A and B are shown apart, each in its own frame.
Chain A
């Protein structure tokens, strides 16, 4: 099911008219705006397609590689924490927007969580597009008010003696959580470590643990 971030409990999904060949009102508007902008030479004819390719190239696997590198290379980690964008760019990840990136390190004392209460700002160059729940009201409304309860809904229990820091993203400043490297991974290669790091761990709603492992 698809949800959206508003107050009413209805399914805003994508109404099927029965005639699949007929685009809906908003799709027609999208096509019309795009074509008018091209006709007026405000944007180039191939730019939307090229940007879709850029969007498709961004997945949480990029962020996972950054995290794994930070775990194995203390100097890279220091640079990442000093300037997230510069470190990612050095690592070969281009930023296609004007955003800054701040990497937030989880420790035994601090657990970080990211949110965008006003809209859906997200570290897209390194993680791709956000999941629907990140854009929806329950997460945006509650993450800043009762983060421990929200984390519990993701199955994450943070001990009372660990501080939870919630960072609220903006149009210009985005965050990436640098999760803690799990115990028992001393012999892992960088690639094996990256395979443990999930999108949700880099948002901060879960920890990285050996059960997260997916096939690289």
Chain B
């Protein structure tokens, strides 16, 4: 078997059947921004801007390192931003500028 074959056959989010530890029965209340992020996903879906499958694929395309390092809703918001860039609905420059503006509001 080619040593890279598994990378092709199994994308980072495709974990069905892999060995893993015990199920830890954890729960947490969503933080307000996480809930807004979830609502944003639904609203983007209603408007046919990003559907569920595009969102799932968007997270997958973040690649193993990012999927591994970011939390659930962190992955979502980054995936949304990248998909919106791909669809030319936002530009990276616009987002960077707006993030500076939002950050500056709180820095005061």
- A-side interface residues toward B, CB under 8 Å? 1-8, 12-14, 21-23, 26-37, 40, 42-43, 47-49, 51-52, 54-55, 96-99, 115, 117-121, 129, 131-133, 135-142, 144-145, 150, 153-154, 168, 171-172
Taking CB atoms and an 8 Å cut-off, the chain B residues in 20-44 that contact chain A are 20-28, 30-31, 33, 35-40, 42-44
B7 within 8 A of A: no
Closest CB pairs A-B (n = 7) = A117-B16, A51-B39, A171-B52, A32-B98, A141-B20, A27-B33, A171-B53
Contacts A40-B90, A42-B49, A171-B56 supplied; 18 other A-B pairs, CB < 8 Å:
A5-B72, A29-B77, A32-B95, A33-B40, A33-B81, A36-B90, A37-B89, A47-B43, A48-B40, A51-B40, A55-B39, A96-B42, A118-B14, A120-B72, A132-B28, A138-B22, A140-B15, A142-B19
Interface size for chain B: under 10, 10 to 19, 20 to 34, or 35 or more residues? Answer: 35 or more
- B-side interface residues toward A, CB under 8 Å? 13-28, 30-31, 33, 35-40, 42-47, 49, 51-53, 56, 59-60, 67-74, 77-78, 80-81, 84, 89-90, 94-95, 98-99, 101-103, 106-107
**CB of A214 to closest CB in B, whole Å:** 16
* Contact between A51 and B71, CB atoms less than 8 A apart: no
Q: When chains A and B are docked, how far (Å) is the Cα of A32 from the Cα of B101?
A: 8
Main secondary structure of the interface of B (DSSP, over half): helix
Name the contact of B36 in the complex, choosing from A6, A14, A48 (C-beta under 8 A). A48
Least CB separation from A10: chain B residue: B69
* Contact between B39 and A145, CB atoms less than 8 A apart: no
* Contact between B19 and A119, CB atoms less than 8 A apart: no
Given contacts A8-B69, A26-B77, contact A142 B26 (CB under 8 A): no
* Contact between A12 and B70, CB atoms less than 8 A apart: yes
